[in-house]
Structure formats: C-alpha cells, structure tokens
A and B are shown apart, each in its own frame.
Chain A
Amino acid sequence: MTTLDDRLRSIEPDGPDIDVDEALGRVHKRHRRSQRSRFTALGVACLVLLLAGGVTLGARDDSETGLATDDSSGRGSIEDIIGVEWRFDRIEFSDGRESIDLREKETSLRFDESTFDGRICNRFEGAWSVQGSALMTGHSEWTVAACLDEAVASGENAFVELLSSSPISWVASPNSLELSAGGVTAYLARTTPTSAGDDTGPFIEDLIGVEWTFDRIEFSDGRETIDLTGEVTSLKIAQDRIHGSMCNSWGGDLHTSEGIIVVPDFTATQMACGGTIGDGEQAFFELLSAGPIAWTRADDTLELSAGAVTAYLSVRGWPFPPDIEPLADIAVQKAPAAVQPHPARPQHIIGTRRVHETPEIVIMVRSTPDQDFETVTSPWSAILQPVGLTWSESYVATWLPPGTAKAWVVLASGGAEVDLTLTTVDGVGIAGFAALPEPNGVIVAFDDAGNEIGRSEPFDIG
C-alpha cells in the first residue's frame, strides 16, 4: 500500500529544465553591477559615467527578481534602499509648512524586497513595489499609540500623508534616501555603515542558534570592567529576535546588516537587581539602547559593542551534570495512573518547577482562577500529557514564595507567539518570555542555576 511518506517522496518539484548557465550569467551580472555601485559610492561616479559614455548601466529586467533597477537616472540603485536601516532626518513640505526635524528622534524605516516597516511614533509595516521610476506603496498597518512628542507626531502624520500620495519618487545613495510624494519630502540617513569590502564581513548566521554567556563588560569611558565570569547569564540570537537573561529576562526584535545588529526596542522583566550581575545587566541594557551594535565572532567568543560599552561573551557549554538525562529525546508516554489529569479538568497551568536533584516537575494547576492550586509532582513523561489544559497568556504564581525563583520553565503557546511572564504575587518575575515560534506547547527545563537542561517534546496545550 502506498503511504503518505511514499507519496511525498514521489514528488519531483523540478519543473521544467533549469537553465543553469543562464542563471549563472545573471548572478555574475548582478554581482558586477553591485561592484560598480560600490565603486560609484566611493566617489567616482562621474568618472564611471564618463567612461560609460552614456551607456546605460542596466535596468534589471523583471525576470531577474521582479524588481526594476535603474542606475542611469541619477537617483541611485534600488539595491541601495533594500536591507538598510534608515532613520528619518527631516520632513519638508512644498506648501510652505514648516519642516520637521527628526534627527534626534528614534525613528526607523527599512525596506525588504517587497515589504517595508519602521517606526516614527507608532510602528508600521506595509507592502511596496517598483513601478517605472517610482515606488508604489499599498496598504500599511500602524499601531495606534498616542504620540506625546509633537515633532514625532507631526512627522508621523507627514509620512502617512506621503505614503498615501504614492507613487513616491526617490533618490538614494548608499548613505541617504529621499522620498517624495504629494508635496511631502522625507529625508533619511543610513543608520548602519556601508559595507565596504563586505566580502570579508561577518555573517549573522554565525550567531544564530548558539547560546552565549557573558564573560565581562568593558567601557571606553573609564568605567571599571564588570567581570561576569561565574554569573549565570545567557544570550541567544534567532533569525529576527534576540533574547537572554542576566538578572532579568529580556528580549527584542532584531534587524541585521553586515556586521551590525540593530535592536530597535526590547522588553525585560522588572526584578530589582543588585551586585555584579545587576551592574552587568544595566551596562548591557545601555549597550542595547546605544544604537547599532557592532559584533565580531572569533571561534567561541563574541564581542558586542555600541556606545561606550563592549560586552564579551563565549559559547555556553552544556552545564548539567552527566547523571541528569537530557530531556529532549524522551518520548511522550501515556501518563501513569498515579498522575491522571485533575478530576476537575484543570483549566489553568500556572507554571512548572523542576525539583532539584530529581528528574521531576512540580506542576501547579487549578480549574478556575479563584480556586486553590493543586500540586502534581510527576516525572517528565507524565507532564507531557496535560490533557485538557487550556492556555492563557498570563498567570500569577502564588505558589512560589517571593525570591525563590531560581528555576523556571518557558511554555510556548499553541500556534500564536505569546510573550509570557510568570510572576509571583509580589510582582517578581520568575519566567522569561516565551516568544518561541513553537507551533505547540513545549516545556523547557532549567536547573537551579538557570541553565537549560532540556526540553520536552512539544505537546498540545488544548
């Protein structure tokens, strides 16, 4: 009998024959064009144009990527726009309105190949395309926060006005971008450095999937180095998110360019922290807030630098003792009779806590928010069968005395990405966020030192 696996393997997603040589020619052509673009950026544009004798450098035909590129118009290359983190400098008007200075404001604009996003006061995102010599923008989505800063609010309104007047004419260079439509002109500057000689530049892929721990933080302004050796810290970088923990857990979205990480904003739990780890955390938050972060990886070490702060990290080892079995590959088993689901079909999973020195989990459940919590202590395999539990985004874990939160779990939601923070009654955070792109629930176990010791097989939360 043919199985589904057999059928899937029978798919030959090959399609018609691929013309490899033609494709290779396109790749070389685009590479040469990008090299010319850099050459131009080095200040010899005039020379290039003279030598070219009026020869069009090339509008990329749509069959290459779907984007038209026109290097011959003097407006620059569309490739100068894409993938760059821009900030708004000022917005000017042709109808006599006073220009808006945004240079000191935290703003951003970034174009991907077909979408753009950014922030002035509110965050926004939308779709764009090239049509002839103009940019076309479609519907854009905005958050709706009230803007207290008058200049920022005015700038945002002006940019909305500009977007709604699409098509947008543009002029770009490697370091500046001018967008104009409907009498509104936005002037933007690049926030990330150009990539001269980027063939030796670092790859963000080198950082992804590695768990780092902080070694020390140094300052260029004379402050004393903070030695974090021996402290329990972590930092992880995913494709578009950075998160970690020192005293508090923190995380934020991530944009990358060559050799640069940009964390536009980040959130953190609010536990009061002192001592070395508290100082280190403050310094690292200062680094995160200081703008584009330059990074360098050499073997098992990572250096992050922004403003006056440089953090030195190293690859985190696998710290749990060998007698504790990693949990990642424990198969889901049917719960033993002794750990049947709560008879009242518990509706709230409050959190779980790994019991020190034993491969057991304490899970606190209750069927309604006003009920007392019941404790179920069970082996991992039983925990993986919380049949009937439903999920909500926030909980108050009254079962943990304040200040005892040394071990915790992270639960991911079914389907959606949910920021989860477990808190004790006094508001002390005991769990990190769980913005994990897991399609289902997963329990991540940490030992009392905060080191991840394994994670469950994902399971249905309900």
Chain B
Amino acid sequence: MEGVGTQPRYEPDEFDDLFRRDYPSIVRTVLPIVGDRQQAEAIVQDAFVVALRRWRRIHSYDKPGAWVRRVAIRDAVRFARREARSGPFEVATPAPGPATDQADLVDLESAVASLPAQQRAAVALHYFDDCPTGEIGEALGCSPATVRVHLHRARTTLAKHLAFDSEEEEVS
C-alpha cells in the first residue's frame, strides 16, 4: 500500500531496460551534435549515470528516457560549443547508408557538422528523431520559434553547400 512517506515501488531492472531501449537512439541523436562517436557515447553514459544516481525520483517520471535524452542533448550542445571555440571537429566516418551515394553522404554529413551547435542539434532532433519544434525547444532551452529559425538557417546553409533548393517543408 502506498501512502504518505512511502517510497514508490519500482523494479530494479527498470533502469537496465530503459538503458537498453533508449541508449542507442540517444547516442544516434547526440552523435551528429558532437561529431565523435566515442564522445557521444561518453556524454550519453554520463547522462545515464546521473539518472542512476537519481533513479528513485526519475523512475517515477512519465518518460524517464526523455529526461536522459534532454540531459544528454544539453551536454552535447555545451560540448559542441566548447569545441567550436577551439576549431571545427573532425567528422566521424559515416556508416554505409542503405540507399545513398557514399560521397554525397560524406558531403552532407560534413555540411551538417559545419553548422553551429544549436543548428546541428535542431537538425539532428528534427530529421533524425522526428521531434516537433516544441520538444526540440525544450531540449535546447529555446522557443519553438527559435528552433524554426535554427532549422531555416541550417537548411539555407546546407542548400548552399550542396546546391540544393532550400525550399522548406512545413515545420510543426
């Protein structure tokens, strides 16, 4: 029976289940932001360590994975900003994509990597995670309108780099 002062119950394997389910996707989200696979994994692991320390509270959230994702993205953006001060990072070698030309893929990823950190994060969350701008704004600590600007500017830059038409889709 739960009552005042009673700790909510949770299964000890709950954290491990969450980790196994969400870790790869969070790493995938963070990777384009920081541009380095090892660093991306380190950042996401840091976020999970913090979550584990606070698990008694975090497990009661509706979406504990969303909390970890938000912390990881925040730290990734901070990391990317710091890195930007000391020069652009190396672009990780991409995995073979299923239906894209490898050279074009490298060009596209290089172009994404050259974007400012916030724009990279917005692109990653919007295109790779299909997040609406409201959620992206929450993760980045800015308004949805600002997210739309980040996306607009990213598209404009990428279109210039890659000779694409920058015509935009409707962003929710």
Contacts and interface: CB of A to CB of B under 8 A. Distances in A.
Interface of A: 3-5, 7-16, 18, 20-21, 23-24, 26-28, 30-31, 34, 63-66, 112-115, 127, 198-201, 203, 205, 208-209, 238-239, 328, 437-440, 442, 455, 457-458
A31 B46 CA distance: 10
Interface of B: 16, 19-20, 23-24, 27-28, 31-32, 37-39, 41-42, 44-46, 48-49, 52-57, 67, 70-71, 74, 78-79, 82, 86, 92, 94-95, 97-100, 104-105, 108-109, 112, 116, 118, 123-124, 127-128, 137-138, 141-146, 148-150, 153, 155, 158-159, 162, 164-169
A457 B148 CA distance: 9
Contacts of A66: 38-39, 42
Given A9-B128, A24-B20, A199-B55, 4 more contacts: A5-B155, A11-B127, A65-B42, A205-B67
Contacts of B142: 437-438
A201 B127 contact: no
Q: In the A-B complex, list the 5 residue pairs whose CB atoms are closest, starting with the nearest.
A: A4-B164, A8-B127, A65-B42, A458-B149, A239-B141
B78 to A, nearest CB: 8
Contacts of A11: 32, 94, 97, 105, 108-109, 112, 127-128
Given A4-B165, A12-B95, A14-B95, A198 B53 contact: yes
B98 A65 contact: no
A34 B49 contact: yes
A15 B92 contact: yes
Contacts of A203: 54
A3 B163 CA distance: 11
Given A5-B169, A27-B45, A198-B53, A13 B141 contact: no
25 contacts: A3-B165, A4-B165, A4-B166, A5-B127, A5-B168, A10-B100, A11-B105, A18-B27, A20-B23, A21-B20, A24-B23, A27-B45, A27-B48, A27-B49, A64-B45, A65-B42, A65-B46, A113-B79, A198-B53, A199-B53, A437-B142, A437-B146, A440-B153, A455-B145, A458-B149
